Every structure is written in C-alpha cells, then in structure tokens.
C-alpha cells in the first residue's frame, strides 16, 4: 500500500499531522479491516434476527454491509488530511497579517531570524503560526538544524498560499543578506491590503445573506400563514395534512431549520479574527 498511497505523505505534513506516513497507512488499513469485521458481525446478527426474503439476501447482506463500512472508513481516512489542510490554511490566512507585523517589531528590536521564531515560540497560544514557530525552535535546539534548513522543513509542512510564499521570501532575504525588518514590513502591508479586500468581499456577501434572511425568516412564513389561512376557508386539508398542522410544522419546524441554516452560513463566512 505504501507506493500506491504515496500522495498522502505531503498532505499529512501540510495538514500539521505529526504522524509518519507509514504509520498512518498502517492505521488506515487496520481501522478499515476492523470496521469491515464489525459490519460483517452486525450484518450476520441482523440477518439472524430479521427474516429476509429472498434467502440469498440474508447471505449477501452481511458481506455487503462489512464491505461498505470498510470502504467508508477507508475513504474518510483518505480525505481527512485534506480537511486538516483546509482548516489549517484558513487559520493561517487569518493569523498571518497580525503575526507578520509582530515579526517586524521583533526584527526592529534587534532580534535575528532565529530569535524572532524563538520569541514567537514562547507564546502560550494554540494558533497555527505559534505551533510552527515551536516546530522551528525544536529543529534548531534539539535536532541541530540551521535556520535555513528549519525553514525549508517548515515550508514542506505548510499549505500552499501566502504563508508559504512569505517563508520562501524569508529564506531568499536571509541568504542574500537583506534586512529582515524591511522585508517583514513590506510583506505585512501586502497582507493587510489582501485582508481588506477579503473583508470587502465578505461584507458584500453578508448583504446577500441579509436579503436571504429577510425572505426566509420574515416574508416566506408570513405569506405561507396567510395563504394557508385563506385556503382553510375553502378546504380543511392540503395533500392529506390538516392546514393547522401545516402551520404548526412551519412555525415550529421550518422557521427554526431556516434559522439554523442562516447561522451556519454566516458562521462559515465571517472570519474568526
């Protein structure tokens, strides 16, 4: 399985998953087999308790259930690193404009590149850039890497994007003898401009969400209640349902569901910082 699933290795690194590729593949196979066995056992138990027609279905059902459960687990573990990459990339894009300014301040105070990352690593925070700084500090202090090698290792563990480009530029600036403060300051300006553009797009998108909120949560329930009230004069039921029951479903079922949908949509659109 190792050569067939080799594409997982960079995804594990970029997703910040501190696990060896070989160990993850072994765990993937083991969990899939265990899931298949559990599905097979559950299918056998179910086929013994429930009479299935035709009899061939009782024989095939446990095998199908075990195979499906095994494949579902296998597929989930194959795609799980992608979710981590997306989550990590989103967090980094939100943190980067602020931390680059912090790095510029540290560089202006006279700290070198190693000192900048070690200072960030001392922060008691679970933010992604702090975790990366701790990784760089570990490579420097424990594994004996130089700062360029430690940054190249970090680039391999970073999702593609602005953060990756910033680290590559940082290596180029260091190797060419450039000034860190100027590099951090110019990069921070670019990141802040991109942040402003992102916030403008988010604001326009929230305007569309506000219109959807007005339609789904205010206009639609009122129109539906008015229509059902008028229809109740002519017929007591619609599609086999009592009109009063439909009003209750709309009030206690439809409106809360629409509200939850709007909350989830807005939460996914608004940046966390």
| 166 neighbors 185 (Cβ within 8 angstroms) | no
Q: Supply 44's token pair.
A: 């056998």
Q: What is the pLDDT of residue 271?
A: 63
Q: What is the pLDDT of residue 273?
A: 60
Among 131, 108, 112, CA closest to 121: 131
Q: Supply 123's token pair.
A: 């922060």
41-to-44, 70, 92 alpha-carbon distances in Å? 5, 13, 44
Q: What is the pLDDT of residue 106?
A: 87
Sign of the Cα pseudo-torsion (88, 90, 92, 94, in order): negative
Mean pLDDT by 10 residues, the chain (273 residues): 88 87 93 93 85 78 90 92 87 83 86 88 86 90 89 88 86 84 85 80 80 85 85 75 81 87 78 62
Rounded Cα distance between 35 and 42, Å, is 10
pTM for this entry: 0.69
Rounded Cα distance between 206 and 244, Å, is 35
Q: What is the pLDDT of residue 72?
A: 93
Query: Domain limits of the chain?
Result: 8-86, 91-193, 196-269
Rounded Cα distance between 107 and 113, Å, is 8
Q: What is the pLDDT of residue 76?
A: 93
């Amino acid at each position: 399985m190792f050569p067939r699933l080799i594409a997982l290795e960079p995804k594990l690194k970029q997703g910040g998953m501190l696990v060896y590729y070989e160990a993850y593949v072994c765990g993937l196979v083991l969990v899939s087999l265990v899931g298949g066995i559990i599905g097979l056992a559950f299918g056998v138990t179910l086929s013994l308790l429930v009479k299935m027609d035709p009899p061939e279905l009782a024989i095939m059902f446990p095998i199908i259930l075990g195979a499906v459960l095994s494949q579902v687990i296998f597929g989930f573990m194959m795609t799980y690193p992608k979710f981590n990459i997306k989550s990590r990339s989103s967090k980094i894009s939100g943190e980067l404009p602020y931390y680059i300014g912090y790095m510029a301040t540290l560089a202006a105070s006279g700290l070198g590149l190693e000192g900048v990352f070690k200072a960030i690593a001392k922060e008691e925070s679970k933010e992604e850039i702090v975790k990366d700084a701790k990784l760089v500090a570990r490579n420097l202090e424990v594994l004996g890497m130089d700062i360029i090698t430690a940054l190249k290792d970090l680039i391999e563990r970073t999702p593609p994007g602005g953060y990756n480009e910033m680290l590559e530029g940082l290596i180029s600036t260091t190797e060419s003898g450039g000034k860190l403060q100027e590099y951090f300051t110019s990069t921070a300006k670019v990141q802040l401009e991109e942040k402003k553009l992102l916030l403008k797009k988010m604001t326009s998108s929230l305007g569309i969400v506000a219109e959807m909120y007005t339609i789904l949560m205010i206009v639609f329930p009122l129109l539906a209640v008015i229509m059902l009230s008028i229809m109740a004069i002519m017929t007591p039921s619609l599609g086999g349902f009592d009109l009063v029951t439909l009003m209750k479903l709309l009030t206690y079922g439809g409106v809360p569901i629409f509200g939850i949908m709007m909350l989830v949509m807005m939460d996914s659109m608004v940046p966390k910082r």
